[in-house]
Structure 1
Amino acid sequence: MSTVPSSLIPADDEARLRALERYQLLDARSEKVLDDVVAAAARLFHVSNAMLSVVEGDTVLLKAPYNLPVDIERIPRGQSLCSATILQDETAVFEDLNQASAPSVDISLLQQLGLGFYAGHNLRTPDGHNIGSLCLYDGPPRQFSPAERGLLGILAGLTMRLLELRRVLGAHAGTTAVLWDFVYRAIGEQLARLLELAERVGPKGTSVQLTPRRPRKPPPLWASSTSLWRLLCGAPEPRHPEARTFAAFPCL
């Protein structure tokens, strides 16, 4: 019998767990691409800890942990703020865990670890299931601006695209290693640019002046595997399928 508080279980939990199985994330093996993305998030937001959380039936897997103060692979679902994060569409933020926390979540472990700040955004599948979150932790309480919340949401979306690509490549076991090497090299430059941005942002969420730009809805990237071309390279896809070879990618 599950010990997870009913208030932390979304209505679609059974379908959500079935969706989670497709991504084959339920182990704690290190994967360099995911490790680097999480490390970049920690540096970008100037926080001490970050990770991907994977919300299972009764536990939460800590995937690609960055600088966590203890070596923990899983924690009970009722002790993870990420269990509450998957219940909403917006970025979940608790600027001071000494003053407020999510209902039904036991934060005693976080308090024991001296963590007073949390921010997390859903990892949402193309069919609408929240399987986990990209989350940030820090010791002292701190403010988290609307711009930072939006940026964390963008980064979580990019992470989910990477997980979707990982799932698709996993269906082709014979070539997965080669394809992952290609993907990692392709996104390496983008991660470097992200870290350059991190150096320009003040510590602990100091605001920076950015030129306002009208928001635009990005085109869907799940329609076909060839959308990888635009995702990684930002270039138009060739008209002829035979031109879509690894050697032809302009970003390599």
Structure 2
Amino acid sequence: MTTARAPDPHSPGRETGGLILVVEDERPIADLIRLYLTRDGFGVHVCADGPAGLAAARRLRPVLCVLDIALPGMSGTEICRQLRADGDWTPVIFLTARDDETDRIVGLELGADDYVTKPFSPRELVARVRAIRRRALGPPDAEPVHTLGPIALDPARRTVTAAQGPVALTSTEFDLLAHLIRRPGRVFTRDELLAAVWGYAAHAGTRTVDVHIAQVRAKLGAAAAVIRTVRGVGYTADG
């Protein structure tokens, strides 16, 4: 278990990277991830097994977790499941050794924000971490609360409320809903949503969008009626 330079993960400064938790049992991969993230201004804490990773996530409160799926003692998906059960919605990026759609969908359904398939470019991983962090920090200027039907979305506080009260969304689920609600009535293709919300192109698979839409709808309950599927095209939000 090793720790690199770790600035305050909750510092209000927009230039502070924050602390990233990396749970990866292959030492060369963990060292490479740590090297690139540290070089990009993040603090990094590395664990080599699942139980230690879960304990570190609860103790250190990182700004983002990078979790290998196949870990000794406890899988990365189980770490994510337990964090979500605790009400902890820290963004999660999964590392998976297989480009298996089932693995990806299970991870997304558990509340992961993104996934990277091994072998991967460490620069791409850093770019995805940065993209999630930018979305979590939000725009530098205040943005008003957006309302659509029974939904109120506050970009500054990154909160969503519906008729049943507060709605707990992952960072990516929030950004997906926000992108739709900011432009009510506009129909977005899945490729457009991938580019706008995830920050990368369709090689990731448009199924990712469908899974996240399903998760957002499930959490919104009756308010999910504002999100409409446009058959053969994509999605829109319409109050």
* TM > 0.5 fold call: no
State the TM-score, normalized to the length of structure 2. Answer: 0.29
Q: Of the two structures, which has the highest relative contact order with CA contacts closer than 8 Å and spacing of 6 or more? A: 1
Q: Which has the larger radius of gyration?
A: 1
- Structure number with the higher strand fraction is 2
State the TM-score, normalized to the length of structure 1. Answer: 0.28
